Amino acid sequence: MTRVALIAHDDEKPEMIDLVREYEDVLSPFDLVGTGTTGKRIMEETALDIERKQSGPLGGDTQIGAEVADDRMDAIVFLRDPLTAQPHEPDISALLRICDVHDVPMATTRTSAEYVLDGLAADGSE
């Protein structure tokens, strides 16, 4: 089953909710993982079930990175705030590095997320 992680900095959580609502039909057959607060918000505002890891400041992004290293993750959507990210929010550097090492796509903007999700949906329909 396709496994996708969903992570968002605080200011990007509304954008993540909007993206997930728009792509709910695409995401529904996937095995979804999220950091604590992002996963909770998605489950509260959609019908999707999310396996919640720790929140970002407590290492949820690191837990997701470990799944990438263990070849258990197909893609990551990490909507980040490049201008005003707060110190308590997950850092993208280590996660980006592990995704590059293991050739796992990571989308960091709404547009790139749409391309990744559309690609995963197309792969699943073949």
Strand-by-strand arrangement of the 50-52 sheet: 50-52, 31-34, 3-8, 75-79, 106-107
Q: How far is residue 16's CA from residue 105's CA, in Å, rounded to a whole number?
A: 17
List the binding residues: 9, 13, 35-38, 55-56, 88
Which residues are marked as active site?
61
The yes-or-no verdict on residue 126 having pLDDT over 90 is: no
The annotation places the binding site for substrate at 9, 13, 35-38, 55-56, 88
Domain 3-124 fold:
Rossmann fold (3.40.50)
* pLDDT at position 91 over 70: no
Taking residues 3-24, what's their average pLDDT? Answer: 96
- Is the predicted pLDDT of residue 86 greater than 60, yes or no? yes
pLDDT over 90, % of the chain: 80
Q: Is the pTM of this model over 0.95?
A: no
What is the domain partition of the chain in residue ranges? 3-124
For residue 50, the surrounding DSSP H or E stretch is strand 50-52
**Average pLDDT value for residue range 61-86:** 91
Task: Give the per-residue pLDDT at 87.
Answer: 64
pLDDT at 123 over 60: yes
